[in-house]
Amino acid sequence: MDIRVDKNELVGKISLGVNISSSKASTLPILSNILMETKKGKLQVIATDMEVGVLTTCHVDIKEEGSVTVPARKFYDIVKELPEGMIDIQVSKNHTIQIKAGRSVFKVMGMDKEDYPQLPEPSFENAIEIEQSVLKEAIQLTSFAVSRDETRYVLNGILITVKGDIFRCISTDGRRLAFFETKISTKQKKEIEIIIPSKAAQELLKLLTWEGNIKISVFQNKVVFCVGETILSATLIEGKFPNYEQVVPKNKTTVAKIDKNELLQCLRRAALLTSTEAPAVKVDFLKGRVMITARTPNLGEAKEEATSEMEGKEMAIGFNPDYLMDVLKNLDVDTITFSLSEPDKPGVISGKEGYFYVIMPMQIH
């Protein structure tokens, strides 16, 4: 293989595969590589860890066709640091890859593509097409609530459903739940109910922009997302997602409207005086204000206050400040609404149409 390619275009394309390729290399060393192959006058760049895969194409000047797999992280780090402009990449018979740019010359050992796993061949005949901005916002507002506990495998992903023109994304780790719903315009009447792994969601976020559409195709136990010249595939999480509607409190006895950024700053400061022994902050919902207190024995105490418009009865309740900050950092609104029913029942944060966030209370001493 002998090709010439623009540095910035190559960096953009291989950056998509770096995180995917590095995660499971211990079981199969070739998975720490990305596959580069010339096809139809372009360079195909492929990365997979057997569960999540990405295929994208790069515009190159091909002097000689060919293919090679190259250590993903090392190759990315080298290309990123090269001077601006064109890069020449040549692969010799023993899979040595020579990378030249300006006066820089690198040689890296590659591997044959024979052992490299193939990605599923997608069909987009029955694909659902939606706006990229819808999916991007939905993942941003739900991905942080995904469970990291591998024993609760079904919660290690985001539930995505499409029924008619209603699109939903839901995630939960058992202590909080994020729910996003919006209407979409789709010609395809096919219904979807899938759980995509957290890693696929994170890679999708990098890929998505705020303009244009994305195609989603589901077949067997796979989902494939197509954006322009890039295809992201993932093995779905199998199992039954919990009935999320049960955890949403039906009653509201206290409703407070609070400036989002003011509340976020108060929580950031108060959280400095929490600890693993005392991880909760006490939140007092009072007339006209919200008081946030953190108290840790042998460490100290923090008191913060934010103004609010409150209706209903005054209440004191404990929450994990990190869980509160997660949603506030991602919600693009000026004001949030905090609804409560009892001090030992979940609280609900809303503020954006079609979105709410349920958070379990914690004991306060």
Q: What does the domain layout of the chain look like in residue ranges? A: 2-115, 128-244, 249-359
Matching CATH number, 128-244, of 3.30.1360.70, 3.10.150.10, 3.20.130.10, 1.10.10.10:
3.10.150.10
Give the list of residues 6+ apart from residue 34 with CB closer than 8 angstroms, or none: 14, 17, 18, 21, 45, 46, 47, 69, 70, 72, 75
Banded model confidence at residue 191, pLDDT cuts 50, 70, 90:
confident
Q: What H or E segment, with its residue span, contains residue 77?
A: helix 72-81
pLDDT computed for residue 365 by the predictor: 66
Sign of CA dihedral 254, 257, 262, 267: positive
Is the domain 249-359 a CATH 3.10.150.10 member?
Answer: yes
Q: What is the SS3 assignment for 11?
A: helix
The reply to whether 2-115 and 128-244 are identical in fold is yes
Task: Report the alpha-carbon distance of residue 209 to residue 127 in Å, rounded.
Answer: 19
Which pLDDT tens digit goes with each residue over 3-18?
A: 999 999 999 999 988 9
Cα angle for residues 46, 118, 52 (degrees, 5° grid): 60
Of 19-23, 31-35, 69-73, minimum mean pLDDT range: 19-23
Which DSSP letter does residue 147 get? -
* Average pLDDT, integer, range 177-202: 90
Task: Report the alpha-carbon distance of residue 24 to residue 197 in Å, rounded.
Answer: 15
**Domain covering 2-115: architecture:** Roll (3.10)
Q: What amino acid is encoded at 65 in this protein?
A: E
Return the higher-pLDDT residue of 293 and 23: 293
pTM for this one? Answer: 0.91
Burial of residue 40 (CB within 10 Å: 0-12, 13-18, 19+) is exposed
User: Residue 164's CB: how many other CB atoms inside 10 A?
Assistant: 10
